[in-house]
Structure 1
């Protein structure tokens, strides 16, 4: 029974991968961006509902998607905005900068689910041209401490870089205290 379920799941994953590959080959880049923003916002809405019990009206979702698409168009039309920071509705937003030539940048972020005592981590590896070289996500039953979650995320980032055989890397996370600890600026 269990092996059948796994087999069905892998078939559906393969079908999804084929559909995604077909979309990327046949659909205009602008449409792909729109689809990505819609899917991102729907996923965020799902997480808000599950983890925070916040319900967002579908009309509000559409407005947020349109706002994000407008912001992306402004960024695309004015590349100088992406080099540092941009003042947005939600405060200052940092934008990703590529690493120097022949280096890889590994970004990570962590999330905490206090109710279920779980920590989730996402990691992305990009080269000096901004191309994605690898990604991973994981979740684990850990004490739901944000500092611990970010430290665990940094460990996962390093592990992925090692697994990929990368030597020249720059680690980048948004938890200043963890970054300072990694750089040896804080005693712990």
Structure 2
């Protein structure tokens, strides 16, 4: 029996939930979920996580859930700004290019794709590239990989004002946070931070948007389901033209 009179973790948790405030109950529930997910990853995939990674994963998942509940989300706690969370794609400011990133995983073919689309302040497509790679990776890692690709393209371009948008909240929070993750995802985030540091002489921002504001990149990611590097043209697919036009309506 524990000092507080409970005889098991389950009993302690039930009693604690009766007295804890809502925020603490949410954090505890998400931490338990993250521990269970980490345990399954170790048992079935032989991939272990550090305790700090479990905590960060729980925190990010909770913030992601809160962001979905618009009336409950606390921007400060989630490392978010008032500019995050757009529901519709908008043309960028004058002399600014916007890069939308997305990724998709295809478990049946053991592949995953990642895409970025570059548009100017008139909504014109400057570049649209999609890659499909053989292998298995988590959706967050695939998203981080494409943000890294977009930043690499930015380095090679001459544009001075760049806005990068992704609908992966976990990637944006990880890039803004100070936690160091000893995982493949953590390595990708570190590389993204390094690229942004190298671009400090330009105006570069990475923002979170909702899926509804990222439809063009989402369309191309899902359309690229075979291993290849493809440079898209507006005329390549009628569906591509439709989603582009819908963004401008």
Compute the TM-score of the two structures, normalised by the length of structure 1. 0.46
Higher percent of residues as strand: 1
Higher RCO (CA-CA < 8 Å; seq separation 6+): 2
